[in-house]
Amino acid sequence: MSGALQRDAAEAQRAALIADALAGLSAPRKTLPCKWLYDAEGARLFEAITRLPEYYPTRTETRILTEQAGAIAEAVGPGAAVVEFGPGDGAKGALLVRGLQVPAAYVPVDIAPEWLEAAAARVAEARPGLPVLPVVADFTQAFALPRRLGPAPRLGFFPGSTIGNFEPTEAAAFLRRARTTLGAGARLLLGADLVKEAAVLEAAYDDAAGVTAAFDLNLLHRLNREAGADFDPAGFRHRAVWNPALERVEMHLVALRPQQVRLAGRVFRFAEGETIHTESSHKYRPERLRALAAAAGWQAERMWTDPARLFSVWLLHAR
Ligand code: TRP
């Protein structure tokens, strides 16, 4: 991107952050969209979260993908074009393409071009000669696949239980859109965290070392830096709580005392104990995920899990 385009993109992003913050902080129950957690510092902290002893999803999913690589390759068949939604550092994409039979291409899709480069490099190294065709797009909206893919069978890849960070209606909408983008006959390899004991879930999102707390609180620092807000981050603390009715872990920033915050010329008041809901991580029982997929046009073909049944990896088929 040229310097001018990059500045326009940064300005548009800042305007969107401010608009989302004004809307979220004006709501009767304050909230902020979780996508804003992932600036450069947020991405660095998230990377650290994936290595925490309490945070089982990354290592469990990686173990399933490693141990079932042969079964996945066989079910998918040869010649697949892999389309990964939000590839992060490309570690899981590299693991997947290494195991597949002669994949046709790897297409990482993300809004952040700088992350796409890292993922593309990592996958190219794992599978020398594989065409890597990054797409800069917000995968929560419709986007087009590169025409160069031709008729190769599509394999969507959406690991990390990112599906759980959507509200169930948004998750269904994502799956329907992915069905349209990837087309009839496509498959989708989807990682989804399973329902389990509250103590295990709450520890995974509120670790002893405080990394997840720093990740959550970084949102307030970001609003100060990029949106000109005057949050006192020391006036808030991170809380993760399992909501059994909605089967999700909710992350909140809790006001430790009454306070006011200015943002874009407006003042927002917090009572002591009032929270900003920053993220939810929905956990899916297998039957619920199967139904969600079916309602979006995907038939569940296989499900793999680990011996402790912590995490599930699904192969869905668009019939
Ligand atoms: N998809 C991840 C999950 O729901 C994202 C995540 C992990 C996360 N840890 C977090 C989001 C802590 C916010 C805070 O497990």
Question: Could you tell me the distance, in angstroms and rounded to a whole number, from the CA of residue 300 to the centre of ligand 1?
Answer: 25
Give 10-residue mean pLDDT values along the chain (319 residues): 74 92 97 90 94 98 98 98 95 98 97 86 96 94 94 97 97 98 97 98 98 98 96 98 98 98 97 98 98 98 98 97
Tell me the whole-structure pTM to 2 decimals. 0.94
Closest residue CA from atom 13 of ligand 1: 279
pLDDT of residue 204: 98
Of 39, 61, 63, 59, nearest to 49 by C-alpha is: 59
Q: Is the CB of 49 under 6 A from ligand 1?
A: yes
Domains of the chain by range and CATH?
Answer: 34-54+199-282 (no CATH), 68-196+285-318 (3.40.50.150)
**Sole residue written with tokens 């498959």:** 187
**According to the model, what pLDDT value does residue 1 have?**
54
pLDDT, residue 215, reads 98
Distance 85 CA to ligand 1 centre (A): 16
- Nearest CA owner, ligand 1 atom 9: 205
Which H or E element spans position 96? helix 91-99
The Cα 177–Cα 80 span in angstroms is 19
The CA 151 to ligand 1 mean position distance, Å, reads 35
Shortest-distance atom of ligand 1 to CA 212: 12
**Per-residue model confidence (pLDDT) at position 35:** 86
Contacts of 292 by beta carbon, 8 Å cutoff, 6+ apart: 168, 171, 172, 175, 284
pLDDT value of residue 168? 97
Tell me which of 41, 165, 190, 193 to substitute to probe ligand 1's pocket, judged by most ligand atoms within 8 Å of the beta carbon: 165
Position 244: which residue type?
P
SS3 (DSSP) at 255? strand
Q: Are 187 and 218 in contact, with CB atoms under 8 Å apart?
A: no
d(CA 182, CA 185): 8
pLDDT tens for each residue of 234-275: 999 999 999 999 999 999 999 999 999 999 999 999 999 999
Q: Is residue 62 a contact partner of residue 304, using CB atoms and an 8 Å limit?
A: no
Amino acid identity of residue 302, one-letter, is R
CA 153/CA 95 separation, integer angstroms: 19
Rounded to the nearest angstrom, the distance between the alpha carbon of 165 and the centre of ligand 1 is 7
Looking at residue 2, its pLDDT comes to 65
**How many angstroms does the Cα of residue 122 sit away from the middle of ligand 1?**
23
